[in-house]
């Protein structure tokens, strides 16, 4: 979808943003003044919605700020594979105010199912979801679910509201062209639509509940004692009469039910057309690239008041695990020890528990972390470790397993501890994979980084200003910092199999990437993964709050271009400590805004207990789906051709050279679609 159409009567100033741009902060309303002839009292039930609000569409890589200026409304045209989620945004901005008390007005938003000519559907509430984009620190980020099929949104003068529309295409969905509508209707603020009294969705839910109740009673055996038979027969008769009443006459079990409420629609409503092409490529259920993301179990314990090891604790962890799988992420839970020692685990249950087998066999999980010690008892005995490994090695999912023991070891003592732990593991399982993250190397008597600390390169700091973790070491690896960094795999071998490098250190040195990969021994199962944490900063790809949408998505483009075989992120819920689920989210001091936080507790925004995704998390999903597209193309035409396509379309050339616009992404996807369709 293109969002750069020519504008008439609207002056659009240059885009200015936060830490990378892409938002509309700082725009004024000069282009909107005196555009509407409406004056005085306005009854929205007598005026076309188009006279009251601007509505236009934007791609999912746009950060829609409150001062985003209108564009022309055009139909939404999307392309999606099966088992893919594709998203788009709809922006609404009032032209005039039809209410008092500081508000501009109220609109009702609903959508129809997407239908094909052959009668196949993508159903609202299952495949189609609507979420409102809510600012965090003034920057659009939280995606708060809207009620379906009808949601009421209050608008305010001079503010643009964005709605995030997602379409999840099931892996079994028939390919073809699908069409539907999103309907926006201006309404009086005190008007309770029929959907809010007893909507079609409410009636359908009641209908299904009554039907389920009737089915549960089933056929009654006349020999049942104590007069129960007659009472059940009577209840069955009553339930059947309710289900057959005129109230539910529009429902049947002959196919999916369109829950769009016609009572909330009038000939004055505004319709946004959605056209979706579903092609017959199916994204693999198991992601091609393992993206392992940490979830802090202590943050969950503190905010939700659950005791470690309690029933509620297991339930909370399971909810987070299952919820994150939809984003093609392989979650692991973590808690931090001294000196960056980290306990990581994907399943909180022991290896011999059925739940662990359920977790590890989950087809959407690409990799899982095995704890070095027991998660609950803290038993670090060799017998416990040996038993766990012996059980897991008999499973077909063992190939997904890895051990993440230490985060960014910084000195010889920590490296020696890491070696000892890895040696114990390999004594029981020579084929076990140990993952080690690293972002700095020691040379001579000082640690050297490729970035600045305290505003000054580390090697220029006086000894008293060098942070504790960067104090002198006596283990030089090579004459220069970059050479030493490249030699880390040799230093850690054979105690590490997955070498996980900080993108921050790499900077824009793609030649360094080639040097690192050349040091690996893939024939012995060695892999190269990368990660981001704090850095890199603008203009490099990362997931900080306020960066461009393409900057968020480019993290995965970079991984694919550089040839990484996996990706790690340190934390998805690492906000400041809180003891109440609904407490305001505060980012940790000392970290860039958004770093370590990719979703929010649902209780912060409503009574829902379901986590709320960030806009950045959705873009991570899009980037991981892009990798599947590129992998498909490369499987047919070779990796060199895949790299050429990435660069030819202008999507990604390097960490400082990638598209700031959405159109090149659609061009690349379209070329892959045309080149690879049957």
Distance CA(12)–CA(56), nearest Å, equals 14
Distance CA(532)–CA(539), nearest Å, equals 14
pLDDT tens sequence across 275-319: 999 999 999 999 999 999 999 999 999 999 999 999 999 999 999
Q: Looking at domain 291-444+477-612, which CATH architecture does it have? A: Alpha-Beta Barrel (3.20)
Contact 127, 174 (CB under 8 A): no
Q: State the CB neighbour count (10 A cutoff) for residue 673.
A: 18
Q: What is residue 379's predicted lDDT score, i.e. its pLDDT?
A: 65
The token duo for 323 is 């919820």
Which of the two residues, 271 and 383, has the higher pLDDT score?
Answer: 271
The token duo for 188 is 């009086």
Distance CA(392)–CA(411), nearest Å, equals 32
Q: Is the pLDDT of residue 489 over 50?
A: yes
pLDDT tens sequence across 450-484: 333 333 333 333 334 333 333 334 445 566 666 67
Segments of 28-136 assigned E as strands: 53-59, 76-82, 84-94, 105-111, 114-116, 121-122, 128-136
Q: What is residue 22's predicted lDDT score, i.e. its pLDDT?
A: 36
- Mean pLDDT (the chain) is 84
Provide, rounded to the nearest whole percent, the portion of the chain with pLDDT above 70: 77
Kindly provide the b/e burial profile for residues 150-162, where b requires at least 16 CB atoms within 10 angstroms of the residue's own CB.
bbbbebeeeebbb
- Give whole-number Cα distances, 271 to 81, 151, 323, in Å: 25, 15, 32
Distance CA(282)–CA(314), nearest Å, equals 33
Q: Is 30 exposed, middle or buried (0-12, 13-18, 19+ CB in 10 A)?
A: exposed
Which run of H or of E encompasses 435? strand 434-438
Distance CA(237)–CA(216), nearest Å, equals 14
49-190+267-282 shares its CATH topology with 291-444+477-612: no
Residue spans of the domains in the chain: they are: 49-190+267-282, 291-444+477-612
Phi, psi of 180 (to 5 degrees): -165, -175
Distance CA(551)–CA(568), nearest Å, equals 18
Q: What is residue 588's predicted lDDT score, i.e. its pLDDT?
A: 95
Q: Mind spelling out the 3-state secondary structure of 393-405?
A: CCCHHHHHEEEEC
Q: Is 479 exposed, middle or buried (0-12, 13-18, 19+ CB in 10 A)?
A: exposed
Mean pLDDT for 45-57 is 95
Phi, psi of 241 (to 5 degrees): -65, -35
Query: How would residue 486 be classed by pLDDT, with cut points 50, 70 and 90?
Result: confident
Distance CA(465)–CA(416), nearest Å, equals 26
pLDDT tens sequence across 160-184: 999 999 999 999 999 999 999 999 9
Q: What is residue 28's predicted lDDT score, i.e. its pLDDT?
A: 32
Sequence-distant (≥ 6) Cβ neighbours of residue 177 within 8 angstroms? 116, 117, 275, 276, 277, 278
Look up the pTM and report it: 0.83
Mean pLDDT for 53-80 is 96
The CATH number given to 49-190+267-282 is 2.60.40.10
Query: How would residue 233 be classed by pLDDT, with cut points 50, 70 and 90?
Result: confident
DSSP letter for each residue of 594-619: TTTB-EE-GGGTSS--S-EEBHHHHH
Nearest Cα neighbor of 316 from 129, 143, 573, 144 is 573
Nearest Cα neighbor of 386 from 419, 344, 428, 420 is 428
Distance CA(540)–CA(543), nearest Å, equals 10
Q: What is residue 41's predicted lDDT score, i.e. its pLDDT?
A: 79
Residue 119 Cα to chain centre, angstroms: 31
């Amino acid at each position: 979808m293109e969002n750069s159409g020519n504008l008439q009567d609207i002056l659009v100033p240059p885009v200015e943003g936060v830490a990378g741009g892409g938002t509309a902060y700082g725009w004024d309303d000069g282009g909107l003044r005196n555009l509407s002839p409406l004056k005085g009292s306005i009854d929205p039930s007598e005026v076309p919605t188009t006279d009251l609000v601007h509505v236009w569409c934007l791609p999912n890589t746009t950060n829609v700020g409150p001062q985003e200026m209108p564009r022309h409304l055009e139909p939404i045209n999307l392309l999606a594979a099966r088992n893919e989620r594709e998203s788009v945004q709809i922006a609404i901005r009032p032209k005039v105010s039809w209410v008092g008390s500081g508000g501009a007005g109220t609109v009702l938003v609903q959508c129809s199912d997407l239908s094909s000519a052959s009668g196949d559907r993508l159903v609202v509430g299952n495949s189609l979801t609507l979420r409102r984009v809510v600012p965090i620190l003034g920057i659009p980020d939280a995606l708060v679910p809207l009620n379906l099929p009808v949601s009421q949104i209050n608008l305010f003068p001079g503010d643009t509201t964005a709605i995030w529309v997602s379409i999840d295409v099931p892996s079994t969905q028939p390919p073809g062209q699908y069409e539907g509508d999103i309907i926006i209707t201006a309404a009086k603020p005190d008007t309770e639509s029929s959907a809010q009294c007893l909507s079609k969705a409410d009636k359908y839910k009641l209908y299904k509940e009554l039907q389920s109740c009737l089915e549960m009673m089933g056929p009654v055996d006349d020999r049942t004692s104590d007069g129960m038979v007659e009472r059940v027969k009577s209840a069955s008769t009553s339930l059947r009469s309710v289900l057959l009443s005129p109230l539910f006459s529009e429902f049947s079990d002959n196919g999916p039910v369109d829950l769009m409420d016609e009572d909330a629609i009038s000939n004055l409503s505004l319709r946004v057309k959605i056209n979706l092409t579903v092609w017959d490529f199916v994204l693999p259920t198991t992601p091609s690239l393992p993206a392992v993301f940490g979830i802090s179990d202590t943050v969950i314990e503190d905010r939700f008041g659950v005791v470690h090891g309690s029933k509620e604790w297991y339930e909370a962890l399971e909810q987070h695990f299952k919820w994150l799988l939809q984003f093609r992420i392989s979650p692991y839970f973590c808690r931090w020890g001294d000196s960056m020692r980290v306990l990581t685990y994907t399943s909180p249950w022991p290896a011999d528990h059925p739940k662990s087998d359920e977790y590890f066999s989950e087809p959407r999980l690409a990799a899982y972390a095995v704890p070095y010690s027991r998660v609950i008892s803290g038993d670090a005995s060799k017998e416990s470790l040996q038993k766990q490994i012996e059980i897991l090695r008999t499973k077909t999912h063992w190939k997904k397993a890895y051990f993440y023991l230490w985060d960014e070891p910084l000195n010889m003592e920590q490296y020696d501890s890491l070696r000892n732990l890895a040696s114990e593991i390999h004594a029981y399982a020579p084929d076990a994979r140990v993952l080690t993250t690293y972002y700095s190397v020691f040379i001579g008597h000082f640690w050297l980084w490729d970035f600045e600390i305290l505003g000054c390169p580390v090697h220029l700091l006086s000894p008293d200003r060098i942070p504790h973790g960067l104090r002198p070491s006596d283990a030089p690896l090579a004459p220069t910092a970059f050479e030493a960094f490249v030699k880390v795999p040799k230093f850690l071998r054979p105690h590490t199999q997955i070498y996980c490098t900080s993108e921050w250190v790499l900077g824009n040195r793609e030649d360094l990437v080639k040097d690192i990969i050349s040091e690996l021994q893939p024939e012995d199962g060695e892999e190269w993964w990368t990660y981001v944490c704090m850095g890199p900063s603008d203009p490099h790809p990362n997931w900080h709050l306020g960066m461009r949408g393409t900057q968020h998505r480019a993290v995965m483009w970079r991984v694919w271009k550089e040839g990484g075989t996996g990706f790690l992120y340190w934390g998805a819920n690492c906000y400041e400590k809180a003891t109440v689920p609904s407490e305001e989210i505060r980012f940790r001091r000392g970290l860039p805004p958004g770093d370590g936080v990719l979703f929010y507790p649902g209780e912060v925004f409503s009574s829902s207990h379901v986590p709320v995704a960030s806009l950045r998390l959705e873009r991570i999903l899009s980037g991981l789906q892009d990798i599947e597209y590129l992998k498909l193309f490369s499987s047919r035409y070779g990796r060199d051709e895949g790299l050429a396509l990435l660069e030819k379309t202008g999507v990604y050339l390097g960490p400082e050279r990638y598209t700031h616009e959405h159109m090149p992404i659609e061009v690349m996807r379209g070329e892959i679609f045309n080149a690879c369709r049957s």
